[in-house]
Chain A
Amino acid sequence: MRAYRTPALAWAGAFAGLVLALVADGVADLVATALVAAPLLLVAGHVRAARRQPPGKP
């Protein structure tokens, strides 16, 4: 189950964002967009960290 911990947070964020964007307008719309975009930011963060990884590290 440990493997699903972080993905589950991303899924919950995306679902919340999609529903919020459907019912909200204005600032809430931006919050919703950020939540939907969160998984992409998560991926971007890991890719960046992997590229900066010094040689020799697993």
Chain B
Amino acid sequence: MLLTLHRRCGLFVCLNLAVLSLTGVILVFHEEIDTFLGAMPEARGEGALVSLAETVEVARASRPEAHPVFVFQEPDAHPHVVFVGLTEGAPRIEEAEPVAVDRRGGELLGDIDLRGSFTGLVLQLHAELFLGPFGKLLTGAIGLAFLVSLLSGVAVYGPMMRRFRFGMLRVRRARRTLVADLHKLVGVATLGWTLVVAVTGILLSLGSILLQVYATTELAALGAHHADAPLVTDLRSLDAAVASAEATEPGRHWAIVALPGSDLASPRDYSVLLQGKEGLEQKVMTMALVDALAPERAEAHAFPWYLQALMVSEPLHFGDYGGWPLKLVWALLGLATLLVSLSGVWVFGRSRRDARARRRTEALDTDAEAARAEPMAPEPALAAEAP
């Protein structure tokens, strides 16, 4: 039964897994690809840094009909560049399109088409299969089937390999035997990594839902006292708010600010997400809620466990948190997963074909034996003449 489950789940995920593995391998190197293709802008200006409030005004002036939803920075990858998310529709962070502004001189660096860039398209294929929110859930379901296939695979591996030594590769037997041996060896050896990638992938597919759950429960409760307040559109207090948020968590700097009225902030608060300089502190952010009308009032807040798990999941899934060597290993492991999946399907198809051929041969043999065993019946005319 476990073997049947392993085979069925493996067959279900095979084609999707091929797409996910190949796109995943590309996404491991997304920073390098973006830099090579010039998809992300670089600061060119010189001189003193302009304030964050000014950068928001510069972005807002570029598209007067849109309103700002978030401000975002990645000082390691894009020093002195601030991205301002603008939207004309609902103030949802996910739907806002970023505009880059050079903080050295406040020059507009232009719109960034994150979804339309090469890696953006690859990410959409990887995370949503070009099907939008439904695609995310579908990818999650594929991830779940993949997880079941992995767990059932490891369960059947033990009894199957009881009589054999680990790593047995029968190179001089039929090709099917060798490929099956390879499937088992690579599959079981890389299972630790594959499990982590599968579980984190499932979590990431639920990312939007988890964020919405957080926004409508805990965050809504935190900003409840300002829920009916008029929307703050004058963002001159932004720099003071960021300084006051950073003061609540020494050693951390701001990474994202959800502006008042966005889906991650009340109409009167800034939600300032803070990250550390390295290690786990860089991955797991904390938040400070700051009153936009009284920016000296900041309140630190830790994210719930499921959002912390989500934040850790991203680097653990995409493998972009180490240096070049780790990225290369990640890509090889992605290709190994592809090999395991394809070899499993090939062995399954081949064994069915061989079984069919064997049944046909057996049927022919049985017919031939039956024909030989049957005594020769006399011709009816001769039988009649017999005494």
Residues of chain A at the chain B interface (Cβ within 8 Å): 1-7, 10-15, 18, 21-25, 29-30, 32-33, 36-37, 39-40, 42-43, 45-47, 49-51, 53, 55, 58
Contacts and interface: CB of A to CB of B under 8 A. Distances in A.
Nearest to A38: B189
Nearest to A36: B329
Given A4-B158, A39-B193, A25 B325 contact: no
* Majority DSSP secondary structure for residues of B touching A: helix
Contacts of B154: 7
Interface of B: 154, 157-158, 160-162, 164, 166-167, 169-172, 182, 185-186, 188-193, 195-196, 278-280, 283, 312, 315-316, 321-323, 325-326, 329-330, 332-333, 336
A40 B336 contact: yes
A6 B166 contact: yes
A47 to B, nearest CB: 7
8 contacts: A2-B162, A3-B158, A7-B157, A32-B326, A33-B323, A39-B190, A50-B169, A51-B171
Contacts of A12: 192
Given A11-B191, A39-B333, A46-B167, 10 more contacts: A15-B192, A22-B279, A22-B321, A30-B325, A33-B326, A36-B193, A46-B185, A47-B169, A47-B182, A50-B169
B316 A22 contact: yes
B279 A39 contact: no
Contact of B172 (A23, A45, A55): A55
A36 B323 CA distance: 13
Contact of A21 (B157, B182, B326, B333): B326
A22 B196 CA distance: 13
Contacts of B315: 22
A1 to B, nearest CB: 7
Given A22-B312, A22-B316, A40-B332, A7 B322 contact: no
A36 to B, nearest CB: 5
B185 A43 contact: yes
Nearest to A28: B279
B162 A21 contact: no
Nearest to B200: A18
Contacts of A14: 190, 192-193, 196
Give the residue among A36, A37, A47, A58 with the most B Cβ atoms within 10 A.
Answer: A36
B43 to A, nearest CB: 25
B329 A37 contact: yes
A50 B171 contact: yes
